[in-house]
């Protein structure tokens, strides 16, 4: 039995969409972890969105932490979530935990520019 089909065209059913994302291999999951660029970066690189990476400066545009900015601390491919250093929730026992944010709820303000190929691809 084939677990993931690369030729899948899409479905209206949310359960099939979730299943596609859940069973996708890492190289495809990474492409699903993209966020919109800010207006300045969009004009500079002539593209609308790009994959998020550790070190990118982002702004949260949806959710309870809307308006906060920070550099990406960790990208979790398995859960398709991003972690920022100052975004935490306080648990009932008083301890703090990092709050996972979907990449689609972010806008990239600055790209982490150590990798020249990442920038060249967008030119």
Q: Is residue 9 part of a domain?
A: no
Alpha carbon separation from 115 to 8, 70, 94, 111 (Å, rounded): 32, 20, 40, 10
Q: Is residue 8 part of a domain?
A: no
Distance of CA 97 to the CA centre of its chain: 19
User: Which value, in Å, is the radius of gyration of the alpha carbons in the chain?
Assistant: 16
Q: Is residue 7 part of a domain?
A: no
What would the mean pLDDT of 40-48 be, rounded to a whole number? 91
Q: What pLDDT is attached to residue 121?
A: 59
Q: Is residue 76 part of a domain?
A: yes
Residue 85: closest CA among 95, 73, 77: 73
Q: Is residue 25 part of a domain?
A: yes
Q: Is residue 6 part of a domain?
A: no
Alpha carbon separation from 40 to 32, 68, 81, 110 (Å, rounded): 23, 19, 25, 10
> Could you give the CA distance from residue 113 to residue 29 in angstroms, rounded to a whole number?
22
Structure confidence by residue, pLDDT tens digits, 76-100: 999 999 999 999 999 999 999 999 9
Domain that holds residue 38: 14-122
Structure confidence by residue, pLDDT tens digits, 17-40: 988 888 899 888 988 899 999 999
- For the chain, how many structural domains are there in total? 1
Q: Are 23 and 82 in contact (CB under 8 A)?
A: no
Q: Is residue 104 part of a domain?
A: yes
Q: Is residue 3 part of a domain?
A: no
Q: pTM of the full predicted structure?
A: 0.85
């Amino acid at each position: 039995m084939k677990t993931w089909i690369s030729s899948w065209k899409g479905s209206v059913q949310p359960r099939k969409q979730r299943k596609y994302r859940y069973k996708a291999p890492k190289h495809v999951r990474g492409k699903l972890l993209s966020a919109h660029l800010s207006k300045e970066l969009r004009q500079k690189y002539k593209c609308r969105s790009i994959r998020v990476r550790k070190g990118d400066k982002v702004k949260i545009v949806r959710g309870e932490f809307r308006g906060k900015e920070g550099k990406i601390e960790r990208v979790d491919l398995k859960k398709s979530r991003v972690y920022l250093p100052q975004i935490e929730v306080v648990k009932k026992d008083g301890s703090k935990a990092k709050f996972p944010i979907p990449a689609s709820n972010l806008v990239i303000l600055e790209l982490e520019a150590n990798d020249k190929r990442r920038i060249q691809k967008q030119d």
